Amino acid sequence: MKASHIRKLIKPIDSAYSEMFSGRVFRVGEGAVSVRNHSGEAQQTVIGVHGFLENHCYFTQTYDAPTTELILLTCSNYHIPVNGVTPETPDWEVPIKYLEGTIEYDACILNQALTNLPNTRNVRVHGHSRGGAVILEAIRQRPELYEDVEVVLEAPALPQGKVHPLVTTLLEPVSHGMWPWLIRLINSAPSSAYGQTFFGKMNPRKKQLLGKLFYATRDHLTIVRNIENIFDWMARTDTAVYQHVRHGTFLIPGVDRILDRSAMLASARQSPTTMRIIETQAPSHFVTLDSKEWLPGFESLPAAAQG
């Protein structure tokens, strides 16, 4: 990448979205992990891994039970979407050898969180879109951590997957130097100009969370690196990684204009029979924002089933 392009791309992007948050926030490398307070005794733990240009608020209303311990990743070089909490550096943080902004780097954040934070034996790790790839890469790196963990992959970026042809058509002519200009253009346009095409039918929560997508990262370079790394990771990662997933569910949307649904299904079907494939009627890439009805109940968690 040319130095002039990098200079344009590292210009900071101001945070434009946050919510009130009650809990603790731990900085881990260039990312973060937030642990929400829960009012009841925790019966299960959910670790949420957000997708490309999203933030951890994607999961907060999906998992709002007082007995759910909710642990939320903020991927590397993304803004932490919380108000009123000062991030702290945990004593369990370990340096990460991968390049920040990559699936491999964020998988290391996830594995550190999973190793050190859950307080229950009933653990679900839920990833949306790019977050699904982060989970699978984390499993590839440390398969032993996931033997008793349930995995939910929602509209996931998968090994040998592809993006939707519409996205490919839009991205192909974009050079590195064009990104800051293109993002300014997108941010100045009303979301109605492109929202219905890519996001499907809107509801209040989708409008809230998807209205400020291009402000999620701390700089434009992270956007470019995320995109290039997603393409590269899907192309070079083998479906053999599924052999390490003991308990899990693929949530496949009925309509997806971000990722290629047929490639997603073809990849999912390479997994062992312990992974369920639920073909939902969700009308967009954002399955659980469209409806929580397709999300598996906690009785499917491995420890709960053993009990």
Average pLDDT of every residue of the chain:
91
pLDDT of 42: 96
pLDDT of 194: 55
pLDDT of 2: 58
pLDDT tens across 73-118, in order? 999 999 999 988 999 999 999 999 999 999 999 999 999 999 999 9
- Asked whether residue 124 carries a pLDDT value surpassing 90, the answer given is yes
Q: What would the DSSP string read from start to end of 197-266?
A: HHH-S--HHHHHHHTTGGGSBSBHHHHHHHHHHHHHHHHH--GGGGGG--EEEEEE-SS-SSB-HHHHHH
- Angstrom distances, CA of residue 280 to CA of 215, 249, 255, 259: 30, 12, 9, 15
pLDDT tens across 256-291, in order? 999 999 999 999 999 987 899 999 999 999 999 999
User: What is the average per-residue pLDDT within 157-176?
Assistant: 88
pTM: 0.94
pLDDT of 174: 76
User: What is the average per-residue pLDDT within 16-32?
Assistant: 96
* Secondary structure class of 184 (helix, strand, coil): helix
pLDDT of 165: 93
User: What is the average per-residue pLDDT within 34-57?
Assistant: 96
pLDDT of 303: 66
The first and second tokens of residue 236, run together, are: 């070079």
pLDDT of 173: 76
Percent over 90 (pLDDT), the chain: 76
- Asked whether residue 193 carries a pLDDT value surpassing 60, the answer given is no
Q: Which residue has tokens 């000062």?
A: 86
pLDDT band (50, 70, 90) for residue 182: confident
- Asked whether residue 184 carries a pLDDT value surpassing 80, the answer given is no
The first and second tokens of residue 44, run together, are: 């299960």
d(CA 285, CA 287): 6
- Asked whether residue 1 carries a pLDDT value surpassing 60, the answer given is no
d(CA 37, CA 41): 11
The first and second tokens of residue 193, run together, are: 């100009």
- Asked whether residue 302 carries a pLDDT value surpassing 80, the answer given is no
Report the run of H or E that residue 125 belongs to, with start and end: strand 123-128
